[in-house]
Amino acid sequence: MKYKIVSDSSSNILSFPKVPYATVPLKIITSEKEYVDNTALDVSRMVAELKVVKGRTQTSCPNVHEWQEAMADADAVFALTITSGLSGSYSTAEQARKDLQATDPDRKIAVIDSLSTGPEMLLLIEKIAEGIQAEKPFEQIEAEVRAYQKYTHLLFALESMTNLARNGRVNPVVAKLAGVLGIRVVGVASQQGTLELLYKPRGQEKMLSTLYDEMKARCYAGGKVRIAHCFNEPAAKGLAARIKKDFPNADIEIGLTTALCSYYAEDHGLLVGFESRSRAQ
């Protein structure tokens, strides 16, 4: 049986060599062009162009056809999506599953709503990949990743919420308040898969200690950490150093956001996925 993981590009993981893997791209649309979230895109150029572009900008999720194409060459597929609370990606992936199974009922497809995005999705991808490599049965891998999701979290620190607010992904009043005051925000992906703002720390140092304190408050105890940043390596490394001070052996990896997360997290934004010791409340 050929297993495959298919993730939408909000995971920031466009290639994953350990197992058969593909991404389906989200897109960023401006009055001038469409940026497709794939390996061909120059993200730093996109971020620079977005700062000066005129008019409305928006995003779109992968369509049913794109999901189907990515799922079609395997008999057992784990499809992973950005939270259904903020995007239509889960719905289009589900529709692709139904259409494929209508013509081929034996095809195994599990569509998993991450209720999150970015590096929390990477943790789920890694969990599924371990199951595939250990040659576990499909249903067992699915059950294990769904159970694991209860122990993973996503925190984020943003310097601007303009694109989130303009596209209706966060309460505009809250975003405006934070934006006008030029204040950073630290927030969390809620259990319902929506964006929840927690703090407005002043300055990068305070932002990092707030993030780490919040990880510990959510029962981080030395597990895996995956950090994705939009051109803010110093902050990512600063957080990693704080964690390593308490947990020298912690498995921490740092990577860049690709197009979708760069658009919404904006320049210098930080996304932190981590494992906790106890189940989410």
- By the criterion CB under 6 A, which residues form the site for ligand X90? 26, 59-61, 82-83, 86-89, 116-117, 154, 156, 169, 189, 193, 195, 261, 264-265, 271
**In the complex, minimum distance from the CB of residue 228 to ligand X90, in angstroms, rounded to a whole number:** 9
Residue 279: count other Cβ atoms within 10 Å of its Cβ: 10
Beta carbon nearer to ligand X90, 86 or 236: 86
The answer to whether the CB of 34 falls within 8 A of the CB of 106 is no
Tokens read off for 49: 């162009």
Beta carbon nearer to ligand X90, 26 or 215: 26
**In the complex, minimum distance from the CB of residue 178 to ligand X90, in angstroms, rounded to a whole number:** 13
Beta carbon nearer to ligand X90, 130 or 267: 267
Beta carbon nearer to ligand X90, 76 or 208: 208
**In the complex, minimum distance from the CB of residue 132 to ligand X90, in angstroms, rounded to a whole number:** 26
**In the complex, minimum distance from the CB of residue 271 to ligand X90, in angstroms, rounded to a whole number:** 6
The answer to whether the CB of 28 falls within 8 A of the CB of 259 is yes
